[in-house]
Amino acid sequence: MLATLTDRHFSDPNWLFERKLDGVRAVCVREDGGEPQLWSRNRKLMNAAYPEIVAALAEQGGDTFAADGEIVAFDGGQTSFARLQPRMHLSDPARARATGIPVYYYLFDLLSYGGTDATRLPLRQRKELLRRAFDFQGPLRLSRHRNAEGERFLAEACGKGWEGLIAKRADAPYTGGRSRDWLKFKCVRDQEFVVGGFTPSTARAGFRSLLIGYHAAGRLCYAGKVGAGYDEATLRALGDRLARLRRRTSPFAGRVGEPDARWVEPEVVVQVRFSEWTGDGRLRHPRFTGLRTDKPAADVVRESA
């Protein structure tokens, strides 16, 4: 179940409000006492990247369950997608642990337990069942919420430097896909974009900036270039990957005014934070925050309230 962005912030006793976490969405599933499985939004198994979370789910949950939550790492007191990056793409549990980056799994919904479907139950009842189903020790955490006071809570969230809030209708069932029963209240602007090219650099490894866009009406629309936010390891690894995706023509609809642009197949998805959209559809002050492997490039659109 996915949330819809809105700029109409409100307070309502029929809604719950949770902290918006800057991590990786994951549904955990366990059947008949087998190994719990962590699945990404695009149905990729993530057990190898987060073995301590899998172990905690095996010890604290029942034999059969499905729950929804967000895997995060912290940079100080803030959840940080960038901090999570070194673990996201690992396929060896030993290497994942060896990174030394602690990860936590914040659970916020229960889809089933003991073989009984919970998705048709009201959210408030599902949250009560979730609270009883797990001990929430070690890397497992309960995503706490506040009732009714959406506007006051959002002001506090923005003051603390959080991403924002997720507002959820308290009596709504759990349904697949994007819904207006879940709404995003954002303190900062960020979203996924597709890489369609890059500009080369003579001053540093990899590239100077990424040329990014989003899909609309079957076309890849140019949103601007991103030259900030990369560390040296990312520049090298992403630069090597883009070199393998080179093509002769631009994948963007319309002209891109970068005379030294190098074009690539539009397959790589990145997360970018920015201050605002300009009148001509470009990003102002964009900054790269990480690679996304949990969303297909074809699904990336411009997010608007």
Catalytic residues: 20
Place of tokens 């699904």: 299
Instruction: State the Cα–Cα distance between residues 184 and 21, nearest whole angstrom.
Output: 11
In this structure, are residues 38 and 54 in contact, taking their beta carbons and an 8 Å threshold?
yes
First to last CA, the chain: 18
- Residue 26 backbone dihedrals phi, psi, to 5 degrees: -150, 130
For the chain, where are the alpha helices, taking DSSP H only?
A: 51-60, 81-88, 93-98, 123-133, 150-159, 232-244
Per DSSP bridges, beta strands 219-226 and 209-216 are antiparallel
Q: At 282, phi and psi to the nearest 5?
A: -110, 160
For residues 232 and 205, what is the distance between their CA atoms, to the nearest angstrom?
A: 7
The dihedral built from the CA positions of residue 125, 129, 131 and 137, taken in this order, carries a sign that is: negative
CA distance 26 to 139: 14
Q: For the chain, what's the residue count?
A: 305
Provide the token pair at 114. 């003991």
State the Cα–Cα distance between residues 235 and 103, nearest whole angstrom: 24
Using the Cα atoms of residue 94, residue 95, residue 97 and residue 100 in order, give the sign of their dihedral: positive
Place of tokens 């809030």: 165
Which tokens is 296 given?
């297909």
Question: How many beta carbons lie within 10 A of that of residue 144, not counting itself?
Answer: 12
